[in-house]
Amino acid sequence: QFQRLSNFYFLIISILQFTSLSSVQPTSWIPLLFVLIVNMVKELIEDAKRKKQDREINNQEVFAIDPSTKDMKKLKWKDIKVGSVLVLMEDDQVPADVIVVATADKISGLVDIDTVQLDGETNLKSKESVEFTHRAITKDVPDGAQRAITSVPKQHVDMMEPLHVECEQPNPELSSFTGKLLSANTTESLTNKQIIYRGCTVRNTKWLYALVTFTGEETKLRKNAVQKKLKRTTLDRTTNHYIVGLFGFLAGLCVLAAGCSAIWITNHCYPWSWYIPDMYSWGEALGLNIFTFLILMSALIPISLTVTMEVVKVVHAKLIDWDSDLCYEDPISGQSMPARARTSNLGEDLGRIEYIFSDKTGTLTQNVMEFMKCSIGGVSYGTGTTEIGRAAAMREGRVIEEVERPPNLKLERGDNFYDPRIQHGQWKQLPNRDAIEKFYTVLAVCHTVRSKPKGGEGEGDDDQLWTPENVVYQASSPDEEALVIGAKGQGFWFQRRSYRDCYVVVDGEEKCFVLQSVNEFNSTRKRMSCVVQTPEGKLMLFVKGADNVMFERMAPGTGPLGGVTKVHLRDFANEGLRTLVIAEKELTPQYYEEWNQRYNEAFQSTVDRDAKLDAVAEEIEKDLQLVGATAIEDKLQDGVPHAIKKLRDAGIQVWILTGDKVETAINIAMACNLIHPEMHLEKVELPDVAIDPSDTANREASLKKINDENRNNVESQLNEACSYEPTKDMERALIIDGQSLKHALALEESVGEDDGPMLRFTNTCVAVVCSRVSPKQKADVVHLVKTKHGRITLAIGDGANDVSMILKAHIGVGISGREGAQAAMSSDYSIAQFRYLTNLVLIHGRWSYQRLSLLICYSFYKNISFSTAVFWFGLNTGYSGILWWEDLYQTVWNVFFTGVPIFFVASFNKDVHYKATLLEFPEMYKDVQYGQPFSKRVFAFWVVDALIVSILVYFIPTYGVEALNPTSSRSDGLDSGLWLCSFTSMAAIHTLINLRLWMETRTWNWVVLLVQFLSLTFFWMWAGLFQLYTPGKFLGFVSILGTYYMMLNNFAVNGICIACFVFTTVLCLIIPWLYYVYMNWPSNKNKSLQVQMFEAQKLEEQIRMDRVPTEEAWAQMLPLLRKGEEAPEQKTDDYPKFNASEDALGVTPSNTPKQRSMSFHTRSGSEAEEYLGYAFSGQRGEDPRLLSDTTSHVRSGTGRTHGSSPNTARSQRSDGPGAALNDAAVLNGVTTPSAPNGASTNLLDASSDYREVRASELLNGNAH
- Give the DSSP H or E segment for 656: strand 653-657
CB-based burial label for 1074 (10 Å; 0-12, 13-18, 19+): exposed
In terms of phi and psi (left: phi > 0; alpha: psi -120 to 50; beta: otherwise), the region of 945 is: alpha
Sequence-distant (≥ 6) Cβ neighbours of residue 890 within 8 angstroms: 24, 27, 299, 866, 883
What is 327-386 written as a DSSP string? -EE-TTT--EE--EES-SS-GGGGGG--EEEE-STTTTEEEEEEEEEEEETTEEE-----
Q: Please say whether the beta carbons of 633 and 386 come within 8 A.
A: yes
Cα 1108 from chain centroid (whole Å)? 35
Closest CA to 23 of 1043, 1080, 1070, 1050: 1043
Locate the DSSP E strands across 13-158: 61-66, 71-76, 85-89, 97-103, 110-114, 125-128
- d(Cα 777, Cα 742) in Å, to the nearest integer? 7
Closest CA to 1051 of 1127, 965, 1115, 1135: 965
Burial 795-814 (b: 16+ CB within 10 A, else e): bbbbbbbbbbbbbbbbbbbb
- Give the DSSP H or E segment for 624: none
- d(Cα 250, Cα 510) in Å, to the nearest integer? 87
| Strand, helix or coil for residue 1193 | strand
The dihedral built from the CA positions of residue 59, 65, 67 and 71, taken in this order, carries a sign that is positive
Question: How many helices and strands, by DSSP H and E, does the chain display?
Answer: 39, 42
- d(Cα 1141, Cα 914) in Å, to the nearest integer? 9
Phi, psi dihedrals of residue 769, rounded to the nearest 5° = -125, 120
- Considering 359, 479, 737, 911, which one is annotated as catalytic? 359
Q: Which amino acid is at 1208?
A: T
Closest CA to 1029 of 1047, 1017, 1015: 1047
- Give the DSSP H or E segment for 50: helix 29-58
- Give the DSSP H or E segment for 685: none
What is 1050-1106 written as a DSSP string? HHHT-HHHHHHHHHHHHHHHHHHHHHHHHHT-TT-TT--HHHHHHHHHHHHHHH--S
Q: Please say whether the beta carbons of 793 and 776 come within 8 A.
A: no
- d(Cα 60, Cα 147) in Å, to the nearest integer? 24
- d(Cα 515, Cα 525) in Å, to the nearest integer? 20
Alpha carbon separation from 692 to 170, 527, 556, 713 (Å, rounded): 41, 21, 12, 22
- d(Cα 448, Cα 806) in Å, to the nearest integer? 29
C-alpha gyration radius of the chain: 38
DSSP state of 1166: S
What is 814-874 written as a DSSP string? EE-BTTBSHHHHHSSEEESSTTHHHIIIIIIIHHHHHHHHHHHHHHHHHHHHHHHHHHHHH
- d(Cα 795, Cα 803) in Å, to the nearest integer? 9
Terminus-to-terminus CA distance in the chain, angstroms? Answer: 59
What is 1000-1016 written as a DSSP string? H-----HHHHHHHHHHH
**359 belongs to the catalytic site:** yes
The dihedral built from the CA positions of residue 129, 134, 135 and 141, taken in this order, carries a sign that is negative
For the annotated catalytic residues, the residue numbers are 359
